[in-house]
Structure 1
Amino acid sequence: MKIALLGHSKHPLKEPFAGGLEMILYALAENLLQRNISVDVYALEGSDPKLNVKALKSIEPVLEKKPFQSSEKEFLNEHFTYSEALRKIKEGNYDLVHNHSMHYLPLTEGKNFPIPFLTTFHVPPFPLIQLGLELRGKQPGNDYFSFVSNNLSKQFEDLVEEHSVIYNGISTEFWKPTTQKIETNLVMWYGRICKEKAPHLAIEAAIKANKKIIVAGPISNTTYYQKYIEKSLTHPNVIYKGHLTQVEIRNYLQISSVCLFTSVWEEPFGLTLVEALACGTPVIAWKKGAATEILDDTCGILIPDVCTNSMAAAISVAQNLNRNKCREKAVQFFSIDNMVTNYIRLYQHLIKHHQIKIMS
């Protein structure tokens, strides 16, 4: 079995990861290779070479010489990048393509690909994704779809019919509890610093609960950071650690009494949730998105409304939850082994189905 994994052209697959999509694709590629499955990863230049990377080439130097607007340059660069990647994949003698790019072009092209073309959706149906699916049409082809949560799949129910749901997985050997003492006065928030992740709400809740909070993550929205986060850093209980490696994140998670998850949009999955649980750290989140599929009353608390008073009050309850139960939930449902095994089974099913279709 020879698989082509198609990533996106915005961030390389390397640490520190720009986001959850990069981390999941990296882990999938790494574990497929460890299982002796032939894999090529089509990802941005600068990605970790151990993943058998076929670099996505940029045409930015050419576009810089042309009188295009910056948005036009970005559009053209991405279109060319994916056109070239798809052309090379067609020539690569693969058994299946697994697309994680979140770009419209693979969606329009996958239906007529000569081999099974699986797209896993990690994000909601943004306009260009909707466009790609609408241009694809409703007639069956060689393309197939999967989602990282049931909540996300429901957002596509008018665009995609038959599909699978395979939860994201993490290394529960890496994300694990510590033997160190838990700091009962410490909570943690981490992720991209942006409006939809809303770390300012975690900071508000921690301050109201009189807890020290560690905030970590890359600043993806400078305006938001300056308006909502920067001013709070003068408070003695607020510590911003910047963009950390996974080891550094894990070390802080392990000793935190609670992890606060404050995304105010319908989060498609939320790796933060399961990484925290695997470390034995209970989680408090709003009752939104995939958090409702991941958390239950043994390992966390779901707040019905976005309310920092309620989150602050919940901290003292959450920190008394059984940390072993948190760990058990992550190991049972969200391990990287489960995720990779489920994808391999889907690959085998799609390849077999395609071979039968060709022969009939």
Structure 2
Amino acid sequence: MKIAQITPLYEAVPPRLYGGTERVVAHLTDALVDLGHDVTLFASAEAETRARLIPVRDQAIRLDPAPLKSELAAHMAMLSDVLKRADDFDVLHFHTDMIHFPFFERLADKTITTLHGRLDMKDLPGVYERWPQFGLVSISDDQRRPLPFAGWKATVHHGMPADLYDFGPRSDGYLAFLGRISPEKRPDRAIEIATKLNKPLKMAAKVDAADKVYWETVIRPMVEANPLVEFIGEIGDHQKSVFLGRAEALLFPIDWPEPFGLVMIEAMACGTPVVAFRCGSTSEVIEDGETGFLVDTLEQAIAAAGRAHLLDRDAIRARFDLRFSSTAMARRYLDVYGDLLARRPFAENPVHRAVTRILERASLKVPGAPDRTMVLPP
């Protein structure tokens, strides 16, 4: 199958530091190549991939030092490149939210769009009502709740390579927070949980420009006043095996409808249990009492973090291997692609075309094909 993967341009593929969507696209692309498919990745030039790379920007937007840059212009240029090459592919898999809808209306039956973000925002319902022909994939069932009428084709949970992170058989006794410093991620809860338990807390987190006031006025004073808390800053994949693998538990104290939460399965890959507030996707990812604990209150979170060391780290890693490997994710997407191809009109369907050529050479009639002479020269 010839598959195009079209990623956002905010981060490298995979990201150098923080980043979710581009990291998932990197894992999916490589897994599809490993399964024998012909995959082309549209991304910024520093992408590391086993697929064919079509670079559409010199570097990813967020770490580009240029003081002025246009995110919209970069993505429009990429979509133009994809449109010019659209006939080269059986499937166009977009990870760019809905920006491509007006450009690809006539090719909608050739596309799959994975939505990676929250969907409970004003104006979004109108978009999905206006362009219902685009097939959508959610990254959790909970993500769909604000748009139940949209053109959902499947839910595919994220996955990652089984060998990306090392298993950590035992912890060093600290709690971990990994993600963004933002109000919805509730780093303040993480600090309070660790303080109540008198346990060290290591925070590896990104501070976006939009959250600098929150960092400076709320979280930074809490960090600097608490000897239990160590703020590390952003980390990359090469640092996560140690950071997560030596933690007693990952704290995931969110207060928003998290679409997936990649950090949860990153912790599971290291054998580290997750203490997560029951919000958004967490109940789909965490198996309560097996791979971590689901909680509803701060008091429950404190109690859960206090007993997280009792969970079997080998069993947690085994559940990751079963549910969240990149190969498992790729196979689920191949089912989605197969359904898309099966619904395509006969003349445009690459699977039907291949079968037609085989049967024509055998001078056989193709079921459902137009009535015509089908004997080709040898």
> TM-score, length-normalised on structure 2?
0.81
* 1:286-316, Cα deviation, whole Å (9 max, x unpaired): 11011011112222111113x2x43222211
**Segment of structure 1 superposing worse, 229-238 or 332-341:** 229-238
State the AA in 2 paired with 1:118: I
CA distance in 2, matches of 1:17, 1:25: 15
Report the equivalent of 2:90. 95
Q: 1:26 to 1:348 in 2, by over 3 A?
A: same
2:212 match: 222
* Residue 53 (1) aligns with residue 53 (2): yes
Change (3 A) 1:5 1:11: same
> In structure 1, how many angstroms separate the alpha carbons of the residues matched to 2:217 and 2:85?
44
CA contact (8 A) 1:254 1:279 kept: yes
1:302 aligns with 294
State the match for 1:287 in structure 2: 278
Query: Cα deviations across residues 83-110 of structure 1 (Å, max 9, x unaligned)?
Result: 42442333x51111000011x3323444
Q: CA deviation at 1:45?
A: 4.2
Tell me the distance in 2 between the aligned counterparts of 1:150 and 1:357: 34
1:260 counterpart = 2:256: no
State the distance in 2 between where 1:129 and 1:194 align: 23
Question: Which amino acid counterpart does residue 107 of structure 2 have in structure 1?
Answer: F
C-alpha contact 1:111 1:117 (8 A) present in aligned 2: no
* Structure 1 residues 25 and 128: CA distance shift in structure 2, 3 A: farther
SS where residue 284 of structure 1 aligns? strand
Residue 37 of structure 1 corresponds to: 37
| 1:132 counterpart (127, 131, 142) | 127
Hey, what's the Cα distance between the residues in 2 that align with 1:195 and 1:74? Answer: 27
CA separation in 2, counterparts of 1:101 and 1:114?
Answer: 14
Cα displacement (A) at 1:325: 2.5
Q: More deviation in 203-212 or 29-38?
A: 29-38
Residue 294 of structure 2: SS of its match in structure 1?
A: strand
Task: Give the Cα separation in 2 of the matches to 1:114 and 1:202.
Answer: 44
Tell me the residue number matched to 1:208: 196
Q: Distance in 1 between matches of 2:271 and 2:292?
A: 11
Q: Secondary structure at the match of 1:105?
A: coil
Corresponding residue to 2:171 among 159, 169, 182: 182
Unpaired segments ≥5 residues, structure 2: 59-67, 349-368, 371-378
Identity of aligned residues (%): 23
Given that residues 259 and 283 in structure 1 are in contact (C-alpha distance below 8 angstroms), is that contact kept between their aligned partners in structure 2? yes
Unaligned 5+ residue runs, structure 1? 59-69
Counterpart in the other structure of 1:247? 238
Q: Provide Cα deviations, 1:115-160, integer angstroms capped at 9, x if missing partner.
A: 5100011112244644432321x4xx4x3211111111233203x1
Counterpart Cα distance in 2 of 1:166 and 1:189:
25
Structure 1 partner of 2:100: 106
**Cα deviations across residues 53-92 of structure 1 (Å, max 9, x unaligned)?**
323349xxxxxxxxxxx9xx847525633542442333x5
Partner Cα separation in structure 2 for residue 207 and residue 329 of structure 1: 30
Counterparts of 2:198 and 2:145, CA distance in 1: 39
2:364 alignment partner in structure 1: none
Tell me: CA distance 1:224–1:310, structure 2 relative to 1, closer, same or farther (3 Å): same
Structure 2: how far apart are the matches of 1:201 and 1:88? 49
- Contact preservation (8 Å) 2:29, 2:49: no
Q: CA–CA distance in 2 between the matches of 1:114 and 1:243? A: 38
Match of 2:110 among 93, 107, 116: 116
Map of 1:198 onto structure 2: 186
* Other structure's SS at 1:319 match: helix
Q: Contact between 2:247 and 2:272, CA under 8 Å: does it hold in 1? A: yes
Q: Which of residues 144, 150, 156 is equivalent to 2:135?
A: 144
| Paired positions, count | 336
Which residue pairs with 1:231 in the alignment?
221
**Any conservation in 1 of the 2:18–2:236 contact (CA below 8 Å)?**
no
> Measured at CA, do residues 128 and 18 of structure 1 come closer, stay the same or move farther in structure 2, by a change above 3 Å?
farther
User: Within 1, Cα distance between the matches of 2:6 and 2:285?
Assistant: 27
Secondary structure of the residue aligned to 2:101 is helix
CA deviation after TM superposition for structure 1 residue 114, in Å: 6.8
Cα distance in 2 for partners of 1:98, 1:294 equals: 24
How far has the Cα of 1:351 moved from its partner? 1.8
8 Å CA contact 1:187–1:211 kept in 2: the answer is yes
Alignment partner of 1:157 is 2:148: yes
Which of 306, 309, 333 does residue 319 from structure 1 map onto?
Answer: 309
Instruction: Compute the displacement of 1:8 (Å).
Output: 1.2
Mapped to 1, the partners of 2:205 and 2:101 lie a distance apart of 31
